[in-house]
């Protein structure tokens, strides 16, 4: 099953991706997580990406296309994958189509999580993520059981630099300008399914599973 989880920052892509990994046993490919790992490890890629990420800008397409090409050809993607945060531009989507054509793994469905801006801002401003496994929490809606500690791996949870207020506004406008056009792009291909992302996490997951039944 080859899925794109699509939606603005804060829509719940990472949250739902983790549930799908547990349920279907296919990997989550989060380009944000891959970039943050590179920043943490101080790689050349991380150093180049950091300035864009801190401002809430997109990292250049050629960098992302290289990352995704390498990742999709890894062994664990054989049974399928969940793309989270990629593609974010039309050139990224075009490059993805070429890569997937080569490896004969077409996208089954693009799940578009719809959430209004006010709710996105509320969610992002309270988001906490685990520095070790990337699990996503929320100070208000979904706090870790022990303050500051990840429920899953006991890593430390923290607020991302780009979840601070000024970067958040910029990320939402970047989404509208550069990423939102992909909704029409995938609708035209007949593979877009739009879901109400404002429901609670378990209800959203149930709706996702109801869509995925046909592809499992
Ligand atoms: P994305 O990966 O799309 O940027 P996340 O999955 O990290 O979004 O979710 C953003 C924030 O919103 C996190 O703090 C998460 O715990 C919270 N969240 C996710 N889904 C829901 C939901 N359905 N209802 C309320 N809060 C949610
Ligand atoms: P995310 O974790 O998906 O919210 O991504 C965090 C940041 O990483 C984004 O604001 C971008 O700076 C960068 N990023 C992640 N995925 C992409 C992508 N597909 N294209 C460009 N930049 C990306």
Residue range 49-88, pLDDT digits in tens: 999 999 999 999 999 999 999 999 999 999 999 999 999 9
Quick check: 216 pLDDT over 80? no
**Contact present, 95 and 211 (Cβ < 8 Å):** no
- Active site includes 160? yes
pLDDT of residue 165: 81
Q: Identify the residue with better confidence: 133 or 209.
A: 209
C-alpha to C-alpha distances, 165 to 18, 114, 118, 143, nearest whole angstrom: 26, 21, 13, 20
Catalytic residue among 55, 127, 139, 188: 127
178 lines ligand 1 (CB under 6 A): no
Ligand 2 centre to CA of 170 (Å) is: 12
Strand 136-138 and strand 127-130: the pairing is: antiparallel
pLDDT: which is higher, 72 or 162: 72
How far apart CA 108 and CA 138 sit, in angstroms, is 30
Can you give the pLDDT at residue 134? 85
Is-catalytic flag, 171? yes
Q: Is 123 a catalytic residue?
A: no
Please state the atom number of ligand 1 nearest to the C-alpha of residue 30: 2
All domains of the chain in start order, with CATH: 2-26+79-212 (3.40.50.300)
Reported confidence tier of residue 215, pLDDT bands at 50, 70, 90: confident
Give the Å distance between the CA of 88 and the centre of ligand 2.
8
- Give catalytic status of residue 88 as yes or no: yes
User: Mean pLDDT over all residues of the chain?
Assistant: 95
Structure token digits, residue 173: 């406008």
- Per-residue pLDDT at 206 exceeds 90: yes
CB 99 within 8 A of CB 72: yes
Per-residue pLDDT, 133? 86
Q: How does residue 14 score in pLDDT terms, banded at 50, 70 and 90?
A: very high
In the chain, % of residues over pLDDT 70: 100
Q: Are 161 and 171 in contact (CB under 8 A)?
A: no
Using pLDDT thresholds of 50, 70 and 90, give the confidence band for residue 132. Answer: confident
**Which one of 11, 18, 35, 167 would you pick to mutate in the ligand 2 pocket, going by the greatest count of ligand atoms within 8 A of its CB?**
35
For residues 37 and 67, what is the distance between their CA atoms, to the nearest angstrom? 12
Does residue 10 line the site of ligand 1, with CB under 6 A?
yes
Quote the CA–CA distance of 40 and 33 in Å, as a whole number: 10
**Of these residues, 13, 19, 71, 123, which one is catalytic?**
13
Residue 91 banded pLDDT, cuts 50, 70, 90: very high
Query: Whose structure tokens read 């490896």?
Result: 103
Q: Which residue has the higher pLDDT, 4 or 131?
A: 4
Which ligand has its closest atom nearest to the C-alpha of 112?
1
Mutation to probe ligand 1, out of 15, 35, 121 (largest number of atoms < 8 A from CB): 15
| The pLDDT value given to residue 100 | 97
Which residue has better confidence, 32 or 165? 32
**From residue 209, how far is each of 69, 176, 193, 197 by CA, in Å?**
27, 27, 12, 14
């Amino acid at each position: 099953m080859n899925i794109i989880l699509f939606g603005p920052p804060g829509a719940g892509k990472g949250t739902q991706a983790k549930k799908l990994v547990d349920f279907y046993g296919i990997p989550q490919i989060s380009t944000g997580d891959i970039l943050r790992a590179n920043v943490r490890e101080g790689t050349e890629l991380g150093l180049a990406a950091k300035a864009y990420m801190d401002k809430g800008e997109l990292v250049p397409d050629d960098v992302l296309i290289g990352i995704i090409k390498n990742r999709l050809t890894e062994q664990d993607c054989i049974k399928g994958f969940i793309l989270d945060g990629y593609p974010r531009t039309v050139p990224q989507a075009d490059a993805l189509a070429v890569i997937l054509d080569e490896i004969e793994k077409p996208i089954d469905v693009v799940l578009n999580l719809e959430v209004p801006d006010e709710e996105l801002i509320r969610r992002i401003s309270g988001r906490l993520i685990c520095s070790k496994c990337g699990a996503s929490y929320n100070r208000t809606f979904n706090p870790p059981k022990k303050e500051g500690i990840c429920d899953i791996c006991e890593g430390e949870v923290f607020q991302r630099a780009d979840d601070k207020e000024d970067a958040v506004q910029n990320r939402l406008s970047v989404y509208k300008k550069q990423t939102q056009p992909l909704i029409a792009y995938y609708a035209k291909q007949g593979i877009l399914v739009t879901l109400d992302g404002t429901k609670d996490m378990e209800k959203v997951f149930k709706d996702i599973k109801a869509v995925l039944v046909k592809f499992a």
